[in-house]
Amino acid sequence: MRPTRLSIILFVFYFIILSFWLSAPFFLRGNLPVNNTIFFTGFKNSTKFGYLFAFAYAFIPLFGSIVGFTLTQKWGFSKSSVGKSVFFLSMSLLSWTTGEFIWSYYNFFLNANVPYPSWADAGFVLNYPFLGIGMIYLGIASGAKLGLEKTGRKLLLFLIPLLVSLLSWYVMVVIARGGSLTSGGGMLKVFFDIAYPAGDVILLTIGFLIFGLSFRYWGAQIKLPVIVILIGILLEYVADFGFSYTTTVNTFYNGSWVDLTYATSLAILSFGVILLDVNKAPSIATTVANTALIPSPPSASSVPPTPDLQAVSNAPSITDQST
């Protein structure tokens, strides 16, 4: 697949952010211990540059959300499931941007080094429902269903988040806090420490269930965005878990490896949204419609999912260059 101008802009900006982080020792040469140049630790020795890095990478999801809202109009917005999917995926990026800007406000104007929990979490936590709804609508566009009538899938959807929540509880409370809920931030922080990683796993579980049911019916132009989005969520889980742990043991700082992982996951999620540009690849809805016409045995288990007719009727055709 040829890179688009928007994807090039996104990755150039991410490369600048990455280079800034990797070159931290050169920016902080005067702040480093004598004869101890530390690489790959980010801006551990500079609060000012750490604040700047945390503020700068917020523009990655902001760019992705702006592009996404533009693509939403091309898909007919609420007239197609793909349009709704792109809208909610864009809202998830915008909510994260809002949270990061609020975080930076605490940093620069209130002199709060690690404002957690704070009003910034209102923006961060909204990322999960918006992202989940966007993934579900993308699955609906091809007629995918969760298939929860099967007991195994019901158990999977319930057990995986439960196991992750228990693991998060063990690490954040038993190990990091020594079994005390009140140490290291109180009950509200414990809630977010467990909710963030568990939310990521719930999204991954739903994503694999939805897309796994109809993956074989989709063309490469929709498979790639799905894979990219799932990779982005996986990296966000790593960052969320790292953030929860380091803030509990008081080793978190702005511009750490956790922030770099967040920046990377947001760049990947933004790229997944950009890949849904109908002008740069054959129409997703057209591909779904074509695969749905493939003859199949009259067995209920083998009938391909019914495509979203609204998405088919409203999405631009392959030869339509007017958009």
Tell me what the mean pLDDT of segment 55-76 comes to.
94
pLDDT of 67 over the 90 cut: yes
The pLDDT assigned to 223 comes to 77
Q: Omega before 117 cis (within 30°)?
A: yes
Query: Residue 20 is part of which domain span?
Result: 5-26+45-314
pTM score: 0.79
Residue 296's Cβ-count burial label (10 Å; 0-12, 13-18, 19+) is: exposed
Q: Does 33 map to a domain?
A: no
Residue pLDDT, tens place only, 1-29: 577 899 999 999 999 999 999 988 787 76
Q: Does 319 map to a domain?
A: no
pLDDT of 184 over the 90 cut: no
**Side-chain half-sphere exposure of 81, counting CA atoms within 13 A:** 21
Residue 69's Cβ-count burial label (10 Å; 0-12, 13-18, 19+) is: middle
The closest alpha carbon to 81, from 292, 306, 267, belongs to 306
188 contact partners, CB below 8 Å, separation of at least 6: 117
Tell me what the mean pLDDT of segment 189-193 comes to.
80
Q: Does 142 map to a domain?
A: yes
Residue listed under structure tokens 């568990």: 198
pLDDT of 304 over the 60 cut: no
Residue pLDDT, tens place only, 106-144: 999 999 999 999 999 999 999 999 998 998 888 777 655
pLDDT of 100 over the 50 cut: yes
The pLDDT assigned to 177 comes to 58
The pLDDT assigned to 185 comes to 62
Which residue type does 293 have? L
Residue pLDDT, tens place only, 218-271: 666 677 888 898 899 989 988 988 898 888 888 999 999 999 999 999 999 999
Residue pLDDT, tens place only, 153-164: 566 666 766 776
The pLDDT assigned to 322 comes to 41
The closest alpha carbon to 138, from 44, 215, 238, belongs to 215
Q: Does 281 map to a domain?
A: yes
Q: Does 112 map to a domain?
A: yes
The pLDDT assigned to 217 comes to 62
Q: Does 71 map to a domain?
A: yes
Q: Does 192 map to a domain?
A: yes
Residues 134 and 87 sit within 8 Å (Cβ to Cβ): yes
pLDDT of 321 over the 50 cut: no
Count of domains observed in the chain: 1
The CA–CA distances, whole Å, from 93 to 18, 27, 79, 233, 256 equal 19, 30, 22, 12, 21
Cα four-point dihedral sign 226, 227, 231, 234: positive
The pLDDT assigned to 281 comes to 47
